[in-house]
Amino acid sequence: MTEELARVQTHPGAGVIATDFSRSAAAQERLHRLVPGGAHTYARGSDQYPDGMAPVLVRGHGARVVDVDGNSYVEYGMGLRSVTLGHGYGPVVDAVSAAVRDGVSFSRPTLRELEAAEAFLAQVPGADMVKFGKNGSDATSAAVKLSRAATGRDLVAICGSQPFFSVDDWFIGTTPMNAGIPQATRDLTLTFRYNDLASVEALVAAHPGRIACFVLEAATAGAAPQPGFLEGVRAIADREGIVLVFDEMITGMRWALGGAQSLYGVRPDLSTWGKALGNGFAVSALAGRRELMELGGLTTDAPRVFLMSLTHGAEAAGLAAFLAVHQAYLERDVPGIMAAQGEKLRAGVQRVVDEAGLGEYVTVSGHPACLVFGTRDPSGQPSQAYRTLFLQELLRRGVLAQSFVISAAHTDEDLEQTVDAVRGALPVYGAAIEAGTVAGFLRGRPVAPALRTYAAPRRRFPDVEVGA
């Protein structure tokens, strides 16, 4: 350990909590031998965390989780933004437990399917029909299929400045991880820019009468729609006979019960939902206008669309979870609670960053219920290496945070611990800024983008001890 690192790691208020990750590291090695990538979601991969500091978790309650080494953390991100009520939320767990005791999957629809559809359509008044599934990719790909069937067109236009829409070829072909996807499939997906209506018009002009749908998030963690943008996309879609699809995977039940569409007053033709619907249980939804949805039904004279016909689409646990979550949102303003706690967190983190004189290098931005932090190098450029250093120091202080995405379960005490952890991490970060490098401060290699062409890690830095 360098003398400088030893100094900043014993800085008053450093607050080191987690010092042993050995069991997590051993479990992660076993996972890598058995599971490609060592996790079932790329964003959960160990390459997204500092070397040897990727906690393997065993349980969680509220906004706190515990790993196999016994380290306890305040967690952010909360199941990739799916857990809004907190881990182990009693009413949801009780509803699921009661439901599965009566059977999980049957050969005919259940009354619960009807109740769930009625509840969902009541919270999303712009939708006429809904079909449930288990993951967001299925729902969004089904929306694309419906759009192509309804319009007779092949091209799909997605918002290229938004990060993710589906694991299926029509989208993944646009990412760096496009191995195995035919070029002909890649060529069918076009991109436009968020809050840039001119880029949408240019795309339509370049491909007249060929675009089946626009797919976009109405709002993102880092950007709200500029006045007139969503309305403009809606108008272009109407003029050109293009299906407008809003991806509400993140915004749905986080921005508002009725999603971003209810906040901004623009009705899509189709919308896709997941994540918060089940507070971590697997349930997703495709919703939209009757004339489109019925292309996958029994009342159409058009060629029928094979629409999300899934063995587990309506199994009891997911729909019971949704109904309990829906009820929780009716009883209290969950999005409002998340926004209020997020604003407290933003203010607290900003305060200690400003006190440390590092406002140029560590930032907090985005919707208060979906905050992200930014990390910059000495030249002011976004930096994965400095991000990794920040993650490392937060982990050591009991905060598991790829972002600051909050839940309604985050208490003021959780927020105080997080702000204290940031305060303790900043002397290390500041010393690395002053040194002009993370070498000597960061253990192992920097994290890398989850969706990248090659798996090989970037250049390693000399290992240093991270124990107190």
- Residues 310-319 have pLDDT tens digits of 999 999 999 9
Last residue of a domain, one of 282, 314, 346: 314
| 264 and 234 both lie in a single domain | yes
Helix/strand/coil percent split, the chain, to 5: 40, 15, 45
Q: Which of 236, 200, 209, 215 is nearest to 153 (CA)?
A: 209
Same domain, 254 and 151: yes
pLDDT value of residue 453: 77
| Domain CATH for 404 | 3.90.1150.10
- Residue 321 inside a domain? The answer is no
pLDDT at 7: 47
Q: Is residue 358 part of a domain?
A: yes
Has residue 242 been placed in a domain? yes
Residue 273 DSSP class: E
150 vs 156: CA distance, rounded Å: 13
At 456 the pLDDT is 64
Same domain, 369 and 292: no
Query: How many CB atoms are located within 10 Å of the residue 135 CB?
Result: 17
Average pLDDT, the chain: 93
Q: Is the pLDDT of residue 467 over 80?
A: no
If asked whether residues 310 and 188 sit together in one domain, one would say yes
- Does 359 lie in the same domain as 299? no
Percent with pLDDT over 90 in the chain: 87
The enclosing domain of 122 has a CATH number of 3.40.640.10
pLDDT band at 464 (very low <50, low <70, confident <90, very high): very low
Q: Which residue has the tokens 């629409």?
A: 307
- Residue 155 pLDDT greater than 70, yes or no: yes
For tokens 């560590």, the residue is: 362
The last residue of one of the domains, among 314, 349, 378, is 314
pLDDT tens digits along 3-51:
544 444 444 345 777 789 999 999 999 999 999 999 998 889 999 999 9
For the whole prediction, is pTM greater than 0.85?
yes
**pLDDT band of 444, cuts 50, 70, 90:** confident
Residue 451 in domain: no
If asked whether residues 259 and 339 sit together in one domain, one would say: no
> Quick one: tokens of 187?
């060529």
Residue 396 lies in a domain: yes
115 and 159 in a single domain? The answer is: yes
Q: Write down the pLDDT at residue 19.
A: 82
94 domain-assigned = no
What lies within 8 Å, CB to CB, of 391 at 6+ separation is 49, 50, 53, 401, 402, 447
Asked whether the beta carbons of 394 and 362 are under 8 A apart, the reply is no
Q: Are residues 145 and 290 in the same domain?
A: yes
Specify burial of residue 242 (Cβ count, 10 A radius: 0-12, 13-18, 19+).
Answer: buried
Q: Determine, yes or no, domain membership for 229.
A: yes
**Same domain for 197 and 66:** no
Are 133 and 259 members of one domain?
yes
Q: What's the burial of 17, exposed, middle or buried (CB within 10 Å: 0-12/13-18/19+)?
A: middle
Count Cβ atoms below 10 Å from residue 336 Cβ, excluding itself.
Answer: 12
Segment 447-459 mean pLDDT: 70
> Do 204 and 279 fall within a single domain?
yes
Confidence of residue 451 (pLDDT cuts 50, 70, 90): confident
Tell which of 284, 314, 344 closes a domain. 314
Q: What is the mean pLDDT of residues 141-155?
A: 98
pLDDT score at 18: 76
Average pLDDT over residues 357-383: 97
pLDDT tens sequence across 249-300: 999 999 999 999 999 999 999 999 999 999 999 999 999 999 999 999 999 9
For 50, the domain range is: 3-87+334-435
* Span 83-115, pLDDT tens digits: 999 999 999 999 999 999 999 999 999 999 999
**What's the average model confidence in pLDDT over 335-351?**
98
- Structural domain contains residue 367: yes
Closest CA to 403 of 367, 361, 441, 438: 367
- When mean pLDDT is compared across 134-138, 291-295, 454-458, the lowest value belongs to 454-458
Note the pLDDT tens digit of each residue in 159-216: 999 999 999 999 999 999 999 999 999 999 999 999 999 999 999 999 999 999 999 9
* The residue to which tokens 């509840």 are assigned: 119
**Could you give the number of structural domains in the chain?**
2
* Pair 245, 348 in one domain: no
Phi, psi of 315 (to 5 degrees): -65, 160
The pair of three-digit structure tokens given for residue 444, joined into one six-digit string: 């192992």
pLDDT at site 12: 38
